[in-house]
Structure 1
């Protein structure tokens, strides 16, 4: 479920989307705007997802439940 392959698969999907959007961007005066918008939004979403995924996969602070059992220390 949650393993290192998730990051690699997500990277490949975003890279494929970037390549397709680079080629498929409409020709004209706004071609640069289209390419920039599609590529930046795709990579920003991937980076945000990857940071969230890694933060949950390897948390820096381990949660402690003090009310597990009464009298348990």
Structure 2
């Protein structure tokens, strides 16, 4: 039955997608310390999730060309 083959193939894709969404954090004992130096390269570095959240809060800069759109939906009310 061709329809069943489709659903079996889809089940594998869904299962893979779910497994890929599971957060993983693989750190050595030294990297788990709060003051540990994380690996980095020329234009990349590994950061902790807490540091990422702090950095994202700092990046609330709005492109001046799009600043007027910030209140676009508020004006419709």
TM-score bracket, shorter-length normalisation: 0.3 to 0.5
* Structure-1-length-normalised TM-score: 0.35
| Structure (1/2) with the larger helix percentage | 1
TM-score by length of 2: 0.34
Please identify the structure whose Cα radius of gyration is greater. Answer: 2
